[in-house]
Amino acid sequence: MARRYFGTDGIRGTVGQSPITPDFLLRLGHAVGRVLRRDRARAQVVIGKDTRISGYMIESALEAGFASAGVDTLLCGPIPTPAVAYLARALRLDLGVVISASHNPYPDNGIKFFSAAGEKLPDQWELAVESALGEPAQWVDSMGLGKARRIDDAGGRYIEFCKGTVRHDLSLRGMKIVIDAAHGAGYRVAPDVFHELGADVVAIGVSPDGLNINDGVGATAPTALVKAVAAHKADYGIALDGDADRLLMVDGDGRIYNGDELLYVMIAERLSTGQTVEGAVGTLMTNMAIELALKRRDVPLVRARVGDRYVLEELTARRWLLGGEGSGHLLALDKHTTGDGIISALQVLQAVRHSGRTLSQLLHGVSLFPQTLINVRLAPDIDWKANRRLAAEQEAVQRDLADSGRVLIRASGTEPLLRVMVEASDADMARGCAERLARAAAA
């Protein structure tokens, strides 16, 4: 059975258009509630959200749907996605529900779910929900209706959890840090985490109005953070996205560090303290320079499909702990069950403090390979894999690159485009090879 509503990270879309409409969301809450109650008399879920104005509508519709199926809801308001995963586990609940469209602009929104263990749910669970959506509603009677209440200390619980993921003696005193919360879910808790660990915190992107999430701030718009770090003469800047599950960092010189580089720092810090790192998981887009740097340290890198869900699946299958994407979704599974921008930033700052070196120094000798990405528009009925000229050109390019670069060709999942990416130690070579492949693809 193919999934109709669930994508790679829950259900997402433009508010007011199917499926992000009040009627569907009520049905969704009811269907999820029925699936939960198949093997238990009662069930409890926690609902968290980001700061989009549509969150009110979606929260109300889901709450009504859960109540109609006899499921109790705990509401915690705006809070990071990973906080919901933590609360589901810490409060021994049956499900965590997040209302967010992550880094998307405010007209979009979505819903994703975490298990009682704070983990992403498998495809089989999503298929069960979709099946329940196609069945007639089975409203419980008044005696069996679910109840709702608010958790007043959700933010405080999560702050303490984040602080508990680093060494008890870690202090950020003497360090000035700019926190950019993207006017999103982390706007309250993120500055407090770093402040309570001793940092001098300057907060930006902490004035949400329901419409400005990710608008010119946050991990998808790092210029604001670079400017703020310079203006306040800060040591570091930390940018989260709208639901605070990913980050990028900036140093006092204005250099931006992406997820690939931060993952390397996290791994190197483990190795420096005598810990064993059996391997790490990146994606098809992970920069080759990181793979080679890890190889020099005897840490293999395995590439998963693009998406933190697939990184998590690969880590779980191999029983490894560390992985991530260049976009800033980073996983440290001995710290949390899901990607967490705040916890990942703490791991990086702990490496800085423990080593006595700057972030730039920790990455000395690791220079990201230049990448050239060209989008080639194709006719909808074209099978690019049958293009013999492209196949031959790809073989020739890979021979020319040898061990100093790589090629990635993949179809867009949303447009009739072929994405041609070449990565090489030399920028001119990357560009020239990508152009060769693009010509072959368009022929």
* Residue that finishes a domain, picked among 229, 254, 279: 254
205 dihedral zone (left: phi>0; alpha: psi -120 to 50; beta): left
* Whole-number Å distance between alpha carbons of 418 and 167: 46
Please check whether residues 250 and 272 belong to one and the same domain.
Answer: no
CA distances from 202 to 162, 238, 248, 294 (A): 19, 10, 16, 34
Please check whether residues 335 and 389 belong to one and the same domain.
Answer: no
What is the predicted pLDDT for the residue at 8?
77
Residue at 165 is within a domain: no
Active site residue: 68, 102, 115, 327, which one? 102
Residue at 167 is within a domain: no
> Nearest 5°: CA angle at 85, between 81 and 87?
110
Please check whether residues 55 and 114 belong to one and the same domain.
Answer: yes
* Whole-number Å distance between alpha carbons of 255 and 252: 7
Buried b / exposed e along 299-321 (16+ C-beta atoms within 10 A): bebbbbebbbbbbbbbbeeeebb
Q: Which domain holds residue 123?
A: 11-152
198 dihedral zone (left: phi>0; alpha: psi -120 to 50; beta): left
What is the predicted pLDDT for the residue at 411?
85
102 catalytic residue (yes or no): yes
Please check whether residues 318 and 198 belong to one and the same domain.
Answer: no
Output the tens digit of pLDDT for each of the chain's 443 residues: 677 899 878 999 999 999 999 999 999 999 999 999 998 989 999 999 999 999 999 999 999 999 999 999 999 999 999 999 999 999 999 999 999 999 999 999 999 999 999 998 988 999 999 999 999 999 999 999 999 999 999 999 999 999 999 999 999 999 999 999 999 999 999 999 999 999 999 999 999 999 999 999 999 999 999 999 999 999 999 999 999 999 999 999 999 999 999 999 999 999 999 999 999 999 999 999 999 999 999 999 999 988 888 999 999 999 999 999 999 999 999 999 999 999 999 999 999 999 999 999 999 999 999 999 999 998 777 889 999 999 999 999 999 998 889 999 988 766 788 999 999 999 999 999 999 999 999 87
In the block, residue with structure tokens 């949390």: 336
Instruction: Give the full edge-to-edge strand order of the sheet including 280-283.
Output: 301-304, 280-283, 322-324, 330-332
Please check whether residues 98 and 31 belong to one and the same domain.
Answer: yes
Please check whether residues 265 and 301 belong to one and the same domain.
Answer: yes
* CATH code at position 404: 3.30.310.50
The secondary structure element, H or E, covering residue 397 is: helix 388-401
Please check whether residues 250 and 262 belong to one and the same domain.
Answer: no
Residue at 164 is within a domain: no
* Whole-number Å distance between alpha carbons of 124 and 111: 17
Please check whether residues 53 and 32 belong to one and the same domain.
Answer: yes
Instruction: Give the full edge-to-edge strand order of the sheet including 256-257.
Output: 200-204, 176-180, 236-240, 247-251, 256-257
Packing angle of the helix pair 189-196, 341-355 (nearest 10 deg): 20
Please check whether residues 122 and 21 belong to one and the same domain.
Answer: yes
Residue at 270 is within a domain: yes
CA distances from 157 to 79, 265, 291 (A): 11, 28, 37
Residue at 163 is within a domain: no
* CATH code at position 337: 3.40.120.10
In the block, residue with structure tokens 């198949």: 38
* Whole-number Å distance between alpha carbons of 420 and 376: 7
Which amino acid is residue 372, in one-letter code?
A: T
CA distances from 357 to 178, 231, 236, 263, 269 (A): 19, 23, 13, 17, 11
Residue at 126 is within a domain: yes
Residue at 45 is within a domain: yes
The secondary structure element, H or E, covering residue 322 is: strand 322-324
* Residue that finishes a domain, picked among 227, 254, 281: 254
The DSSP code sequence of 240-303 is E-TTSS-EEEEETT--EE-HHHHHHHHHHHHHHTT-----EEEETTS-HHHHHHHHHTT--EEE
Question: How many domains does the chain fold into?
Answer: 4
CA distances from 276 to 66, 169, 266, 273, 395 (A): 44, 22, 12, 9, 37
CA distances from 126 to 111, 237, 240, 316, 407 (A): 12, 37, 28, 19, 34
Please check whether residues 42 and 140 belong to one and the same domain.
Answer: yes
Residue at 158 is within a domain: no
* Dihedral over Cα of 31, 32, 38, 40: its sign: negative
Please check whether residues 298 and 201 belong to one and the same domain.
Answer: no
If one counts every other C-beta atom within 10 angstroms of the C-beta of residue 59, the result is 21
Please check whether residues 25 and 125 belong to one and the same domain.
Answer: yes
* Residue that finishes a domain, picked among 254, 270, 302: 254
Packing angle of the helix pair 259-272, 288-296 (nearest 10 deg): 10
